[in-house]
């Protein structure tokens, strides 16, 4: 496998509805799309970094520069016998797991396509569909209750509610009161501290499947302390960027569930290692999302077919996010399941080139 050329472009898609979490509101999805070419085959991946560092410290400007000046030039024209051969080329670079993931994921897509296999087959996944949940942004409580009902009616198997200070306990109480049997979770996106322990403890009354990332994005230690004080399992998202983060979290009981985002953790190899370590610790994982287009969503679905993805993931219908997606196939759930896209090998979706050109800037071309 020798990559002969590449394209890097920024894509802008308006969101169907604004998405508010504790750190702010998104009204559009702006993301980098990487295309790698080898012998006429194309591999794709999208980046999950935000324009500015408000989810993690990685952000678009530095990631784009790293891809343009270092990562893409390092792989063009260099024979790679398999995706593992990328590891030594990426090893020197600290952080920037999202930029590294873009390159790695596009190589996996290309590799699977060169073998004529669905991506799930080359990473060790199986099955035709994956269980899906939904992540509901912050809206007034009455509106959130309507959205919960509508998504339960559509079959979503778990409802995740975004919370923030002042919009937490009353919301959860109302949701649990209205939907006594639903699988409910909350996601704080790091907006609390140990000073909020009493509030976190009060959440124990509402039978949540887990509380996602309640404390600082870079603080495993405080999560371990909090877990000794509450019964609800803690799920880590932002805090798990590497295998070593996962090991420390599992060894210290800072997480009893882990949200794996392949686009956040450097790609498939690191995600597979995290997945396997969680299995060894008997800790379930699920696949998180970053409002991806059909390209990132297809990657996430293939990843979700690994055996320890035993909880529903945030891989919901594309139409929840966008009126029109950049893939020719619309990824839609039915009955609480998302079918694995296999309209061809690799990630199993194809790009709608005409529409992509309309929603992206002029690509930078390499090679
Ligand atoms: O914390 O999982 C998160 C979206 C953007 C940034 C962070 C998160 C999210 C979501 C949405 O929860 C998941 C999705 O539907 O893609
Ligand atoms: Mg989260």
286 ligand 1 Cβ < 6 A: no
Residue 166, sorted as left (phi over 0), alpha (psi -120 to 50) or beta, turns out to be left
DSSP 359: H
CA nearest neighbour of 5 among 88, 104, 72, 94:
72
Q: What is the distance in A from the centroid of ligand 1 to the CA of 215?
A: 16
Determine the atom of ligand 1 nearest the C-alpha atom of 134.
15
Terminal Cα-to-Cα distance of the chain (whole angstroms): 15
Asked if 283 and 260 touch (Cβ cutoff 8 Å), the reply is no
Beta-carbon neighbour count of residue 55 at 10 Å?
A: 21
Q: Which residues pair with 129 in a beta bridge?
A: 339
Residues 6+ apart with CB under 8 A from 200: 192, 211, 214, 226, 229, 230, 232
| Cβ contacts of 340-345, under 8 Å, gap ≥ 24 | 340/118, 340/120, 340/127, 340/128, 340/129, 340/130, 340/301, 340/302, 340/305, 341/298, 341/301, 341/302, 342/118, 344/113, 345/112, 345/113, 345/115, 345/116, 345/117, 345/118, 345/119
Percent pLDDT > 70 in the chain is 100
Distance of CA 240 to the CA centre of its chain: 12
Mutate to test the pocket of ligand 1, among 48, 135, 154, 285 (most ligand atoms within 8 A of CB): 135
Protein residue with least CA distance to atom 12, ligand 1: 135
DSSP H helical ranges for the chain: 60-66, 72-75, 87-90, 97-115, 119-123, 141-153, 169-178, 197-202, 220-229, 243-251, 268-280, 294-303, 353-359
The residue assigned the tokens 């039978």 is 207
Q: Which two tokens stand for residue 97?
A: 């797991």
Q: Which of helix, strand or coil describes residue 31?
A: strand
Catalytic annotation present for 162: yes
Q: Following DSSP, what letter does each residue of 41-102 receive, concatenated?
A: EEEEEE---BSSSSSSS-BHHHHHHHIIIIIHHHHTT-B-SSGGGGHHHHTT--S-HHHHHH
Rounded to the nearest integer, the mean pLDDT of the chain is 98
The answer to whether 216 and 193 are in contact (CB under 8 A) is: yes
Contact status, residue 340 vs residue 313, Cβ threshold 8 Å: no
How sure is the predictor about 367, in pLDDT bands with cuts at 50, 70 and 90? Answer: very high
Q: For 109-125, write each residue's pLDDT tens digit.
A: 999 999 999 999 999 99
175-185 pLDDT, tens digit per residue, is: 999 999 999 99
| Residue 166 CB coordination number (10 Å) | 8
Give the position, in ligand 1's atom list, of the atom nearest the Cα of 187. Answer: 1
For a pLDDT cut of 90, what percent of the chain falls above it? 100
* pTM summary value: 0.98
Shortest-distance ligand to the CA of residue 22: 1
The active-site residue, picked from 29, 113, 162, 311, is: 162
> What is the whole-number distance in angstroms between the Cα of residue 205 and the centre of ligand 1?
25
Quote the pLDDT of residue 308. Answer: 98
What's the CA gap between 169 and 130, in Å, rounded?
Answer: 31
CB 319, CB 12: distance < 8 Å: no
d(CA 316, CA 291): 9
Ligand positioned closest to the Cα atom of 291:
1
Domains of the chain listed by start with CATH number = 5-117+350-366 (3.30.390.10), 122-339 (3.20.20.120)
Q: What is the mean pLDDT of residues 299-321?
A: 98
> Band of the pLDDT at 93, cuts 50, 70, 90?
very high
Rounded CA separation 319/83 (Å): 32
Q: In this predicted model, what pLDDT tens digit does every residue of 261-294 receive, in sequence order?
A: 999 999 999 999 999 999 999 999 999 999 999 9
**Which residues lie closer than 8 Å to 333 by C-beta, 6 or more apart?**
132, 154, 155, 156, 316, 317
What's the pLDDT band for 74 if we cut at 50, 70, 90? very high
- CA of residue 186 to ligand 1 center, whole Å: 12
């Amino acid at each position: 496998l020798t990559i002969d050329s590449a394209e890097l472009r920024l894509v802008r898609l308006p969101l169907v509805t604004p998405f508010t979490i504790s750190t702010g509101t998104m009204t559009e999805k702006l993301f980098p799309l990487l295309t790698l070419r080898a012998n006429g085959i194309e591999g794709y991946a999208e980046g999950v970094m935000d324009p500015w560092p408000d989810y993690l410290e990685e952000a678009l400007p530095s990631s784009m520069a790293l891809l343009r000046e270092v990562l893409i030039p390092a792989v063009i024209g260099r024979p790679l016998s398999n995706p593992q051969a990328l590891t030594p080329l990426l090893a020197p670079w600290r952080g920037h797991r999202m930029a590294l993931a873009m390159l790695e994921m596009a190589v996996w897509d290309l590799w699977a396509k060169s073998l004529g296999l669905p991506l799930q087959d080359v990473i060790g996944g199986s099955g035709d569909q994956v269980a899906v949940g939904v992540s509901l942004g912050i809206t007034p409580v009455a509106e959130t209750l309507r959205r919960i009902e509508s998504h339960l009616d559509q079959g979503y198997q778990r409802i995740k509610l975004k919370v923030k200070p002042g919009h937490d306990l009353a919301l959860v109480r109302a949701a649990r009161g209205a939907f006594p049997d639903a699988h409910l979770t909350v996601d704080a996106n790091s907006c609390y501290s140990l000073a909020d322990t009493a509030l976190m403890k009060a959440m124990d009354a509402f039978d949540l499947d887990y509380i996602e990332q309640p404390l600082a994005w870079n603080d495993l230690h405080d999560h371990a302390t909090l877990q000794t004080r509450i019964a609800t399992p803690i799920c880590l998202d932002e805090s798990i960027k590497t295998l070593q983060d996962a090991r420390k979290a599992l060894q210290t009981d800072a997480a009893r569930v882990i949200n794996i985002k392949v686009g956040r953790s450097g790609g498939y190899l690191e995600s597979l290692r995290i997945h396997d370590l969680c299995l060894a610790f008997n800790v379930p994982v699920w696949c998180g999302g970053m409002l991806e287009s059909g390209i990132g969503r297809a990657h996430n679905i293939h990843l979700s077919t690994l055996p320890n993805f035993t909880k529903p993931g945030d891989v919901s219908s594309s139409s929840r996010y966008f009126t029109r997606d950049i893939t020719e196939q619309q990824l839609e759930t039915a009955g609480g399941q998302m079918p694995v896209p296999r309209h061809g090998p690799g990630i199993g979706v194809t790009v709608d080139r005409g529409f992509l050109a309309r929603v992206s800037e002029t690509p930078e071309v390499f090679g």
